[in-house]
Structure formats: C-alpha cells, structure tokens
Amino acid sequence: MNARPDSTRFVLMHTSHAGNVGAAARAIKVMGFVDLVLVRPRFADVLSREETVAMASGAADILARARVVDSLDEALQGMQHVCATAMTPRDFGPPTFAPREHFEALRDGASAVAFVFGSERFGMSNDEVYRCHACLSIPTDPGYGSLNLAQAVQLIAYEWRQALGGFGVQARTADAQAADDAAVQGALDHWQHALVALGYLDPQAPKKLMPRLRQLLNRARLTPEEVHILRGIARAVEKDRQAKP
C-alpha cells in the first residue's frame, strides 16, 4: 500500500487572504499534486477572485477542480492518514515530526494522505490538530519561525514529492559538445603565436608555459564555440601588435 500523488490532498482551513489560496494552488501544481480543498474560507467566492487567479499564475486548473466545504469532516473524506501543520507545540495530541522524518515512513504506509493547514492568523485549533494522525513542524530558525501559508504549502509539497521519488533533474539545455583534439591544439598553437607577438612568451626559453596551458584547456573541456572565442582573442592580439610600429 503506497501513497500516490493523485491521492494526496491539501486542506486549507479558514483562509482569509485570496492571494494565499492562489499561491497555494501554484505551489501544489508545481510539485505535481492536484487536490485542493478549502474549509470555510473568509470569502465564499475565493476560488474565482481576481487576486486568487493572479497569484495562481498558471494553476487555474487546480482552482477549477478545488472544492469549498463547510467542515473538516467533509474535507477529510476518503483520507487514510492526516497530517496537521502547526508551529505551536501542544501538550496533548498526535506526535510531532519534521516533515522529512515522517515522510520516509509515511510513503509506504498509507495510500491516501491529507495535509491540513491552519488559517493565516490563528493556525489550527486544538480540536483540528487532535483529528490528525501526526503533526508536522517545519524546522526553522528558533528566533523567527513565521511562515506564510503558501510558503508552508510549498515546503510540505516539495518534501512529500521528494519522498515519493521526486522528478529528477530536468536538463534545460542540451549537453555541450566537446571540441575535438585537433581544434584545441589549433587554438593552442594560435595562442602561442599571439603570446610571442605580445612579448609574453620567449620562444628561446618557453619553459613549460604551453604544456601548462594545454593541461588547463584539457580540464576545461572546451566546446567548438569556446575554441572560436580563444582564437578570436588571439587574432585580436596579433592585429593589435601588427598595427603598432
């Protein structure tokens, strides 16, 4: 019995700022989740408000399928494991974990998981926390632990997605092609000529300058474009030296 992204639900309690709802929708969409439920938000039309849609920034589909319900009971229907998110410690209630610590065990123990977030001003009530199987506390600087609602949603969504396997690193650009050995040697020969013209390299006493430059270029793994740049610099040096008497 393994948890799945499509059986993960994010529940927002008594939200008062429309922008946070939109930002939360964006936060869960970017992590590949789709199920958002609001319990008695301040504005009944919050899902269609201009500020909500603007802050969703492309997550309109999450808002379109989101639901507004009257109680936490309704919001949690069908869920097997429920996690409260609360910064304030309780003397009584479910055990408290850091998200990453709890998620390692949770991913293999429940197929339908809900994360419940309290209101911006008051967080979750004791009774709401008592309904949950676990309480998640995001580790923060002890001197300042205040998180915006949408930020908290993003952190939990990210950690849960990582526990489920993540997405891996998605390359945004193709791997650069390395220049062939002949091109690199040609650039090095060109530089040798330019350095002699510049007076930096004494051809009668070259020491190990060129072999050291060759090692540098080998480590750099030049692309064909970078070889062209180096040769362009060498041409500019030669042109400059030829122009001077």
Write the CATH number for 203: 1.10.8
Nearest to 218 by CA among 183, 175, 191: 183
Q: Are residues 196 and 151 in the same domain?
A: no
Q: Is the pLDDT reported for residue 218 higher than 60?
A: yes
The domain tally of the chain equals 2
DSSP H helical segments within 76-148, as ranges?
99-106, 126-130
Band the pLDDT of 77: cuts 50, 70, 90.
very high
| Average pLDDT of span 220-226 | 91
Q: 191 and 213 in contact (C-beta within 8 Å)?
A: yes
Q: How many residues does the chain have?
A: 245
Band the pLDDT of 18: cuts 50, 70, 90.
very high
Average pLDDT, the chain: 89
Q: Are residues 47 and 145 in the same domain?
A: yes
Q: 83 and 133 in contact (C-beta within 8 Å)?
A: yes
Token pair listed for 103: 């998620």
pLDDT, one tens digit per residue, over 127-146 is 999 999 999 988 888 888 78
Pick the range with the lowest mean pLDDT from 5-9, 149-153, 178-182, 229-233: 5-9
Tokens 């002949």 belong to 182
Nearest to 105 by CA among 97, 116, 94: 97
- Domain end call among 105, 128, 163: 163
| Average pLDDT of span 20-32 | 96
List of E strands, 61-156: 67-69, 81-85, 96-97, 113-117, 134-136
Instruction: For residue 94, give its domain range.
Output: 5-163
| Average pLDDT of span 213-241 | 91
Q: Is the pLDDT reported for residue 174 higher than 80?
A: no
Q: Are residues 138 and 208 in the same domain?
A: no
Q: Are residues 97 and 216 in the same domain?
A: no
pTM above 0.75, yes or no: no
Helix 149-163 to helix 99-106 angle, to the nearest 10 degrees?
Answer: 40
Q: 213 and 165 in contact (C-beta within 8 Å)?
A: no
Band the pLDDT of 147: cuts 50, 70, 90.
confident
pLDDT, one tens digit per residue, over 89-129 is 567 778 899 999 899 888 887 779 999 999 888 888 889 99
Domain annotation covers residue 236: yes
Can you tell me whether residue 94 is helix, strand or coil?
coil
C-alpha–C-alpha distance, residues 87 and 140, integer Å: 10
**Amino acid code (one letter) for 11:** V
Nearest to 95 by CA among 133, 131, 127: 133
